[in-house]
Structure 1
Amino acid sequence: MHRRIIRAWAAGLLALPCLLVPSHALEPPASAAAALQAKHIELQPQLRDNIFGEPLHLSSREGQSRVEGDVYAEMAYPIDAVAATFKSAARLCELLFLHLNVRRCEPESAGNRETLVLSVGPKRARVSGQVYDITYALRIESAEASYFRATLSAAEGPLSTRDYRIVFEAMPISGSHTFIHLGYAYSYGTMAKLAMNLYLSTAGRAKIGFTVVGKQPDGKPLYVRGERGSLERNVMRYYLALLAYNSINAGSPQEKMAGRLRKWFALTERYPAQLHELDLNEYLEEKQADLARATTGHR
């Protein structure tokens, strides 16, 4: 039982949105906007020819006590629609909730300060005591028509995890399309490393990411595994949540949530080798139970 709880904790940990603020995030908005524009030009070959079949580029890196990476993509939505999602902790919670490991997200505000409390746990909420919370502070750093940037930050997480950073950048590339960047990373200590190693040697040992690191003997692609693979799977899930959220805007709040849940699941099923975990009915049942618990105030 103890090992199962640790594995579930590690699986949830790897699902946390932990996006790195890139080096140009501290630059003035004009400089940061120019850097994003230059990146869009630089990545044209990767955006046009990749394993995703869409204008999307994902990369990841692993250090001694840190994993990090970047997602760049062209989205078929105008910048004002895409950026609106990141201007409100409440809307961000609706987006993040689509991820199968996010059990609850509560927006909070005090004056001009907005935060959100993210509760993350295993994909099946059958065992109590496995959900943990992290409080993120939301900051809008630039909200121009030509460039948008928002950041989320949390100094500490469960056990020995720390320095959670999220950045979202966007710029228009036409009247109806937007180039976006998600930077992501987190640091971890000994306890988190042990838990992740246990998960990756048991339940997560056969799971793969998206980066091709070589070829198998039969010539098929060899995909990254381990912590980088886990990070890539989950950042892809959050990117697909952004797509699903922006794809459905009509109906009541309940109808929009139901439509976005189904859309998110359909998008993840485009990459079954990396992202398939539950069937549609299981996923919807878990999410409906999460929503019911949130309504009644139960965990």
Structure 2
Amino acid sequence: MSACALEPPASAAAALQARHIELQAQLRTNTFGESLYLSSREGSNRLEGDVYAEVTHPVAEITATFRSANRVCELLFLHLNVRGCQPAGTSDNAALTLSVGPKRALAAGKIYHITYALRVEAADAAYFRATLSAAQGPLSTRDYRIVFEAMPIGGSRSFVHFSYAYGYGTMAKIAMRMYLATAGRSKIGFTVTGQSPDGRPLYVGGERGSLERNVMRYYLALLAYSSVNTGSPQEKMEKRMRKWFALTERYPAQLHELDLDEYLQEKQADLARAAAGHQ
């Protein structure tokens, strides 16, 4: 868990301001072609990933999503491995159950359910912070934590931080090793770890690579969700899915898994199952 995730809101606000100053060079010069910095860490049975970015959305707009479990569900659903999301609780005790599984519904693989508590820990004009936490997950994973922070940086722009972390045990290690030895063998993340003999960058793989792909997908879901504000609920969902897919295609080496039509078909099938009462 990052140090910022453990701090009270006042200290966390100061930490985010300091981080924005500290990351100026990385935000200006990077391989993403935008004001974005991504990092990941692998500790003792724990993985953590962070995205920091300057975005062209005012704080009030980009933080509105995290004030409602229903809207958070709509955002997280854009991720291709999220097959459903069910909000629950009240505004003071909000929660959601995320259903995650294979990117193709007919592929071999089980759907797992993780129940997160949603807490808005700070919400004013200068700083916003919300957390999603789950004590337990599938296959001996545990202590899931998603942290979203934002602050204004002038005009209609904001500096945002999106982090994703979880712990894991023996069963999760075995499952990840099997995945990395088969379907995930050639998949990479975003952190450059060296150069090949012909000068091309080498990217992190393994568990860190997997985490980096996921934290980036969730961050891009935030951008896609915040960029669409007009239309019926069905129209907005369709636009957001298309926007999310387009954003992920900026990084095909890391994030391309399905064609657009296949992604939309999978998501529409998920929505139909949810409407019929099957998550």
TM-score, with length taken from structure 2: 0.97
Counterpart-to-counterpart distance in 2, 1:145 and 1:274: 35
**Residue segments in structure 1 that go unaligned for 5+ positions in a row:** 1-19
Residue of structure 1 equivalent to 2:131: 151
Q: Is the 8 A contact 2:163 2:215 kept in 1?
A: no
Counterpart-to-counterpart distance in 1, 2:134 and 2:117: 7
Deviations 1:9-59 (A, max 9, x none): xxxxxxxxxxx4x32334343322111111000000000001100000000
Q: Is the 8 A contact 2:27 2:53 kept in 1?
A: yes
1:103 and 2:83 correspond: yes
- Alignment partner of 2:178: what SS? helix
- Please give the residue correspondences for 1:66-85 in structure 2 after superposition, counting only pairs within 5 Å: 66-85=46-65
Q: Cα distance, 1:110 vs. partner?
A: 4.0
- Please give the residue correspondences for 1:78-157 in structure 2 after superposition, counting only pairs within 5 Å: 78-110=58-90, 112-127=92-107, 130-157=110-137
1:217 and 2:197 correspond: yes
Residue of structure 1 equivalent to 2:275: 295
1:39 and 2:19 correspond: yes
Residue from 20, 28, 50 that aligns with 1:48: 28
1:269 and 2:244 correspond: no
- Alignment partner of 1:236: what SS? helix
Counterpart-to-counterpart distance in 1, 2:122 and 2:91: 19
Question: Which one-letter code corresponds to 1:107 in the other structure?
Answer: P
Higher relative contact order (CA 8 A, sep 6+): 1
Question: Which one-letter code corresponds to 2:118 in the other structure?
Answer: L
Q: Is the 8 A contact 2:41 2:208 kept in 1?
A: yes
Question: Which one-letter code corresponds to 1:196 in the other structure?
Answer: M
Q: Cα distance, 1:285 vs. partner?
A: 0.3
Q: Cα distance, 1:157 vs. partner?
A: 0.4
Question: Which one-letter code corresponds to 1:100 in the other structure?
Answer: L
Deviations 1:108-153 (A, max 9, x none): 0147210000000100001576111000000110001100000111
1:191 and 2:191 correspond: no
Deviations 1:78-117 (A, max 9, x none): 0001111111100000000000000000100147210000
Q: Cα distance, 1:184 vs. partner?
A: 2.2
Question: 4+ residue runs of structure 1 moved beyond 6 angstroms?
Answer: none
Counterpart-to-counterpart distance in 1, 2:187 and 2:81: 16
Corresponding pairs, count? 279
Counterpart-to-counterpart distance in 2, 1:25 and 1:222: 30
Counterpart-to-counterpart distance in 2, 1:67 and 1:26: 16
Question: Which one-letter code corresponds to 2:29 in the other structure?
Answer: D
RMSD over aligned CA atoms reads 1.2
The change in CA–CA distance for 1:276 and 1:129 in structure 2 (over 3 A counts) is: closer
1:180 and 2:160 correspond: yes
Q: Cα distance, 1:67 vs. partner?
A: 1.0
TM-score, with length taken from structure 1: 0.91
- Alignment partner of 1:146: what SS? coil
Counterpart-to-counterpart distance in 1, 2:50 and 2:91: 32
Q: Cα distance, 1:182 vs. partner?
A: 1.4
Question: Which one-letter code corresponds to 1:185 in the other structure?
Answer: A
The change in CA–CA distance for 1:212 and 1:128 in structure 2 (over 3 A counts) is: closer
